[in-house]
């Protein structure tokens, strides 16, 4: 089942970053499926780690270009990334230690954060990256 569907509305007009966003959507869909299918704790930890690791990779790509092209919103954008990673790390730690149950609330947090981040924050660098020829 598709929990989060990619549409052209999410495009930042930079093919490599759009592909990374699509991958993040896929990972969120995998996480949702794992939750929905009541996957094992080990599988859910694997999905959480995969999402966190790929988010770190993706964020480093965006941040590299923001620094390279002196994007004026770099510091605030980077801070949003850091807050997300901290939240996912906290979810992971609490879930692994048994102090948290993976719920639809957590799944919706991830979906809503990514939706708002791509449609709001990421769209702000789109024109600059396109002008600079980022593919």
pLDDT tens-place string over residues 2-35: 899 999 999 999 999 999 999 999 999 999 999 8
Please tell me the predicted confidence (pLDDT) of residue 2.
83
Helix (H) or strand (E) holding 105: helix 104-116
**Residue 9 domain-assigned?**
no
- Domain count along the chain: 1
The model's pTM: 0.92
Of 48, 121, 47, 134, nearest to 81 by C-alpha is 121
**Residue 7 domain-assigned?**
no
**Residue 124 domain-assigned?**
yes
**Residue 72 domain-assigned?**
yes
């Amino acid at each position: 089942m598709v929990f989060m569907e990619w549409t052209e509305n999410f495009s930042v007009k930079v093919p490599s970053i759009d592909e990374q966003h699509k991958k993040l959507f896929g990972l969120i869909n995998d996480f949702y499926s794992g939750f929905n299918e009541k996957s094992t704790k080990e599988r859910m930890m694997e999905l959480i780690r995969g999402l966190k690791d790929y988010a770190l990779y993706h964020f480093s790509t965006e941040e590299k270009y923001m620094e390279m092209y002196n994007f004026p919103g770099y510091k605030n954008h980077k801070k949003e990334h850091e807050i997300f990673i901290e939240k996912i790390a906290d979810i992971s730690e609490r879930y692994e230690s048994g102090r948290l149950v993976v719920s639809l609330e957590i799944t919706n947090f991830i979906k809503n954060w990514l939706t708002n981040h791509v449609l709001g924050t990421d769209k702000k660098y789109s024109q600059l990256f396109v002008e600079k020829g980022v593919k």
